[in-house]
Amino acid sequence: MKNLSPGNLQTVLSNPGILQRIASVDVYRGFVMLLMMAESLSFSTVSEALPNSSLWHLLAFNQSHVAWTGLSLHDMIQPSFTFLVGVVLPFSIAGRKQRGASRSSILLHSVRRSLILICLGIFLRSIYSGQTNFTFENTLTQIGLGYTLLVVLGFCYANDTIAGAHCFTGWLLGSICTLPIACS
């Protein structure tokens, strides 16, 4: 895409054949996926073995959640995914419309995707538990809870408001679901 500014977003979305991958979104998504994978690398174990290494301490800190004070890169995974969903949603809707999809088929697809995300989130929270945990504080369930609503908003309002709406929805759900009272 040559020039994607807020002023010409509507023009880009309404012209068939102009939609392409946005490299910055793909790079950001890849970076967030790298942060998710880094959790399995156990930098904290290496950091404990090398207590004088500031590099390993920095890597370990940014691979884990901060306990109610401060912020690490790991704490930005969920808001980043939520933001990315909001950013790409107008392009997704436009692409489906270009391929001939009706509003009802797009809505049905979003409901199905939302249910799959919510079920996957519940499954992943319950996998090592003796019971099913119907919790909604993980990334998948939060995106699933907001996705269909955002598709409806995408039908009703200007496309450039969707990213902000989904970012705010994710922040609100994340804030409510991570309060100690809500999780105990």
Residue 83 lies in a domain: yes
C-alpha dihedral (108, 137, 125, 76), degrees to nearest 10: 100
Q: What pLDDT shows up at residue 132?
A: 86
Residue range(s) defining the domain that contains residue 124: 6-183
Write the pLDDT tens digit of every residue in 68-88. Answer: 777 888 888 888 888 888 888
Shortest CA distance to 13 belongs to which of 174, 160, 167? 160
Residue 111 to residues 148, 150, 152: CA-CA distances in angstroms? Answer: 6, 11, 11
Burial of 155 (0-12, 13-18, 19+ CB in 10 A): exposed
φ, ψ of residue 21 to 5 degrees: the values are -70, 145
Residue 157 lies in a domain: yes
Q: What pLDDT shows up at residue 129?
A: 83
Q: What pLDDT shows up at residue 170?
A: 60
Q: Which residue has the tokens 């939060």?
A: 142
Q: Which residues of the chain have pLDDT under 70?
A: 1-19, 157-184
Q: What pLDDT shows up at residue 79?
A: 83
Q: Are 38 and 63 in contact (CB under 8 A)?
A: yes
Count of residues in the chain: 184
Q: Are 16 and 98 in contact (CB under 8 A)?
A: yes
Residue 22 lies in a domain: yes
Residue 1 lies in a domain: no
Q: What pLDDT shows up at residue 95?
A: 85
Q: Which residues contact 59 (CB under 8 A, 6 or more apart)?
A: 38, 43, 46, 47
Residue 94 lies in a domain: yes
Residue 40 lies in a domain: yes
Q: What pLDDT shows up at residue 184?
A: 37
- Its pTM stands at 0.65
Q: What pLDDT shows up at residue 133?
A: 81
Task: State how many domains the chain has.
Answer: 1
Q: Are 4 and 155 in contact (CB under 8 A)?
A: no
Q: What pLDDT shows up at residue 111?
A: 96
Q: What pLDDT shows up at residue 183?
A: 38
Q: What pLDDT shows up at residue 171?
A: 60
Q: Are 82 and 143 in contact (CB under 8 A)?
A: yes
Structure tokens at 15: 């012209």
Q: Which residue has the tokens 């609100």?
A: 172
